[in-house]
Amino acid sequence: MDNVTSSREKAMLLAQAMIAEKPVYIDTETTGLRQSDEVVEISIVDFDGTILLSSLVKPTQPIPVDAQYIHGISNEMVKTAPMWPVLWPQIREIFHGRVIAAYNAPFDLKMMQQSHSRYKLPWRESLKLVDVLLIYSDYKGIWDPVRRSMRYFKLQEAGSSFNIPLPNAHRSTADALLTRAVLHSIAGIEYA
């Protein structure tokens, strides 16, 4: 058995194990990528594809034009949206005791933590996160000599490789649903 086959089989087994735990899938859109940036949209999709939460979030700062260009969320759109501290209790309740799957999970976690920080709220959560990006990278099995790890792929590339008809829209609900479909496809399970 070659290394690619071994890596792919391990990824498939891990994906199957994660799906068996009935995770929730999350995605966030943000004001940017800096340490001062925060969430402007969050969606949480249940293991069966049900949308549990989909909300714009009013940030403490204006959304820069370059971020608006990526996700299409304007300052006008978030003007009357709930602020992070108002949404957090509902988000926290959904997360309680659940496995949380995201594509590039460390980014979503960091943005939630930074949103907390913008309001001087302490982060006390210990979340069980699954990074679908890493599982997909192992599934593809292409070594990146610069990173000295498996090559990373964008969510859109992962979806396209499985011919998933869901768009990578850079909106949180669409991307959470696409993440779910990618994990199911890695596992060899129908995602409908």
Q: Using one digit for the tens of pLDDT, what is the confidence trace for 47-103?
A: 999 999 999 999 999 999 999 999 999 999 999 999 999 999 999 999 999 999 999
Q: Are 31 and 66 contacting, i.e. CB atoms less than 8 angstroms apart?
A: no
Rounded distance, CA 13 to CA 11, Å? 5
Report how far Cα 72 is from the mean position of its chain's Cα atoms.
Answer: 18
CA dihedral 109, 121, 21, 42 (to 10 degrees): -60
pLDDT beyond 60 at 1: no
Rounded distance, CA 167 to CA 108, Å? 19
> For 81, which DSSP code?
S
Separate counts of helices (H) and strands (E) for the chain? 8, 7
pLDDT beyond 70 at 14: yes
pLDDT in tens, 124-149: 999 999 999 999 999 999 989 998 88
Q: Are 145 and 63 contacting, i.e. CB atoms less than 8 angstroms apart?
A: no
Question: Going by DSSP bridges, is the β-strand pair 99-102/51-56 parallel, antiparallel, or unpaired?
Answer: unpaired
Tell me the percentage of the chain whose pLDDT exceeds 90: 89
Band the pLDDT of 167: cuts 50, 70, 90: confident
Q: Are 46 and 52 contacting, i.e. CB atoms less than 8 angstroms apart?
A: yes
> Is domain 3-187 in CATH 3.40.50.300, yes or no?
no
pLDDT beyond 70 at 2: no
Looking at residue 191, what is its pLDDT? 75
Q: Is 66 exposed, middle or buried (0-12, 13-18, 19+ CB in 10 A)?
A: exposed
Task: Say what the pTM is.
Answer: 0.94
Rounded distance, CA 60 to CA 114, Å? 11
Q: Is 63 exposed, middle or buried (0-12, 13-18, 19+ CB in 10 A)?
A: buried
